[in-house]
Amino acid sequence: MHDQPDAPATDDEDDNGYDRPSKSQVKREMLALTDLGKELIALSPERLRQLPLAERLYESIREAQRTTSREGLRRQTHYVGKLMRDAPADDIRRQLDIWRNGSREETAAMHRLEKLRERLIDDDAALTELLNLYPGADVQHLRTIIREARKEARANTELQQGQDPKRKHYRALFQALKDLA
């Protein structure tokens, strides 16, 4: 028995479908492209221009955005899905993911600043930690804002029902922290 290299695929083997994706797989891919097209239709024109879209696809998406009838939108969406077959879907998905996750990262950064602001109002040691992280920070300015934010917080605890709390220095402290970061 001797080892023979695999013979090249013949036309007969190709016709049996073993070397191609199944009909179900092709359908799943087409539905995924249609779903991606729906995401693109939901985007603003400014965002669309930033994506690597062929002119024909871009115009079809814009047409779908202008379509008001339900059936017309459904047909236009399927047409966009069909045009998506020739589009760089992976690049588009990657950019959409960056836009989605970018906003998550910004939100997380804002939450960190809010927590730091609360610590600065509650604890004097937090200012020392902050100054160790940002040695070039304006110490006098930060101390003044923190002191005023603390006064504001104390005054807000004594408000009567229906009175609006003061937030001027509270917001100023957040802005100062944002400028530092």
What domains are there in the chain, each with its CATH number?
21-87 (1.10.60.30), 105-180 (1.10.60.30)
How does pLDDT run across 29-51, given as a tens digit for each residue? Answer: 899 999 999 999 999 988 898 89
Residue-averaged pLDDT of the chain: 86
pTM over 0.75? The answer is no
Cα(173)–Cα(155) distance, rounded to whole angstroms?
17
**Is the distance from CB of 126 to CB of 116 less than 8 angstroms?**
yes
Specify the length of the chain in residues.
181
Percentage above 70 pLDDT, the chain: 90
Distances (CA, A) of 127 to 26, 91, 113, 177: 59, 44, 13, 11
Q: What is the arithmetic mean of pLDDT over 152-169?
A: 88
How does pLDDT run across 130-144, given as a tens digit for each residue? Answer: 999 889 899 999 999
Which pair of tokens denotes residue 146?
A: 């923190």
Instruction: For residue 1, name the pLDDT band (cuts at 50, 70, 90).
Output: low
Cα(165)–Cα(106) distance, rounded to whole angstroms?
27
User: Is it the case that residue 79 has pLDDT exceeding 60?
Assistant: yes
Which pair of tokens denotes residue 114?
A: 């809010």
**Is the distance from CB of 81 to CB of 34 less than 8 angstroms?**
yes
